[in-house]
Every structure is written in structure tokens, then in C-alpha cells.
Structure 1
Amino acid sequence: MFEDKIEKMNENIGTIPMIEYEKRVYTPEEIQDILGVSRTTIYQLIKSKVFHSVRVGGQYRISKRSFDKWLEESDEEL
């Protein structure tokens, strides 16, 4: 009986819609990958406040919107 309930639940796994959302923050590691720079450089950028970041549970999160804006403005200056 219990196995039948589990089997029935598993039948519906493929039909459950996935919730998609737009990413709103980056981790320092993601910024490091995007820019191709060192970890030290990322934390210098965070400390210099060139884009908005917050510290959550001892870890930094960088606003995607402010990072993208900073990056676009940097491209225009080149």
C-alpha cells in the first residue's frame, strides 16, 4: 500500500512545472569567473563599493543590477 502511494507520487514528477526566476545576486566567485580576475581583486572591488553588495551570514552577495550597470559603464569608458 505504501509502495503504491510512492509509485503514484513518482509518476507525477515529470509533470510538475519548474519555477523559473531571474537571478538577482551574484556570489564573489561568480563575479570572479565573469571578470576572470583573482579573488583578492573581487574583494577589493567589494570594499571599494563600486557596486552594491551585502553580507549575508558571513558571505557577500553582489547585486546583479548594480554589477551589470558598473560593467556596462566600464565598457563605455574604454
Structure 2
Amino acid sequence: MSEKRCYTVKEIQEILDVSRPTVYALLKKKEFRWIQLDGGKYRISKKSFDDWLDKQPE
């Protein structure tokens, strides 16, 4: 199986240990690339998110 290319909002919540509204606030700020699917679900670019996370201060 190939490596996943996207995270879900729930996965981002778990990675960052933050609330759902916090994840949506980050999406609104366009901190990383994401798409919105039919039905309102979001998919966050794994590479874009991982790069953003690596750049965050300790």
C-alpha cells in the first residue's frame, strides 16, 4: 500500500492534541495546503502539514 498523502481533520487534532475548532482555525489561516471535498470534509496535504509542523518553534 502506498503512503498516505493526506490527513483528516481528526488526524490533525490527534497529532497536535488540539480541539476541532483549533484545526479549523488553522485551515482558515491557510497555514498549510488543504482541499474541501463534496460533503464538507477536509483533506490536508501531508507534505504541506509536515513541512509546516517542522518549522514551528519548539
Using structure 2 for the length normalisation, give the TM-score: 0.93
Q: Does 1:28 align with 2:12?
A: no
Residues 1-78 of structure 1: pairs in structure 2 closer than 5 A: 20-57=1-38, 58-74=40-56, 77-78=57-58
* Higher helix proportion (structure 1 or 2): 1
Larger Rg: 1
What amino acid is aligned across from residue 67 of structure 1 in structure 2? F
Q: Once superposed, what is the RMSD of the aligned Cα atoms?
A: 0.7
Give the ranges of 4+ consecutive aligned residues of structure 1 lying more than 3 Å apart after TM superposition: none
Q: Which ranges in structure 2 are unaligned for 5 or more consecutive residues?
A: none
> Over residues 28-73 of structure 1, what are the superposed CA-to-partner deviations in whole Å (9 max), with x where a residue is unaligned?
0000011100001000000100000100112110000000000000
Q: Which ranges in structure 1 are unaligned for 5 or more consecutive residues?
A: 1-19
Percent of matched pairs sharing the same residue: 53
Q: Aligned partners of 1:59 and 1:36: how far apart in 2?
A: 20
What amino acid is aligned across from residue 56 of structure 1 in structure 2? L
